[in-house]
Amino acid sequence: MNTAEAPERLALEYGLADGIAVVQVTGEVDVASCGVLRDSLLRIVTDEGFGGLVVNLAGVRFIDSAGVGVLVGVWRAVRATTRRLALAAPAPQARRVLDTAGLTKILPVYDAEAGPGITLGSHKAATRPDPGT
């Protein structure tokens, strides 16, 4: 695993499960740290081996509109491919922000943390299907 840190408040851990990139986000996603998150997620999306992306938000203590903007931008980049994007296990504060912003209506959001059983090809564990794919 590789860890990248943004202004000491955001940590990203990367993994690969069945060809799907899993990024565990921990800390605060705000205007000061969202650039690192954006760059990291877009680097995965533009990788030739990219098979799909799950962003695990279980460790996110805070997310603001800048962080939501990053997720929307990554969603748009993924939609330009044949791949898929899903969010996993958003912490309560993050879930409220995602609900308010409407992201939970366009992205599959899994209640469980990313791991076995969460696949981007099936919505059985998703709270909402992804109408954009």
pLDDT tens by residue, 67-82:
999 999 999 999 998 8
Q: Which has more confidence, 33 or 127?
A: 33
State in Å, rounded, how far the first CA of the chain is from the last one.
Answer: 30
Residue 25: its pLDDT value, please? 96
Is residue 84 predicted with pLDDT exceeding 50? yes
Nearest to 130 by CA among 109, 101, 102: 109
pLDDT band at 114 (very low <50, low <70, confident <90, very high): low
Beta strands in the chain (DSSP E): 3-6, 10-17, 20-29, 53-63, 85-88, 109-110
* pTM for the full predicted model: 0.80
Mean pLDDT, all residues of the chain: 82
Nearest to 94 by CA among 64, 53, 69, 128: 64
Residue 85 amino acid letter: L
Is residue 131 predicted with pLDDT exceeding 90? no
CA distance 104 to 128: 7
Nearest to 113 by CA among 57, 43, 34, 72: 57
Is residue 21 predicted with pLDDT exceeding 50? yes
Residue 120: its pLDDT value, please? 52
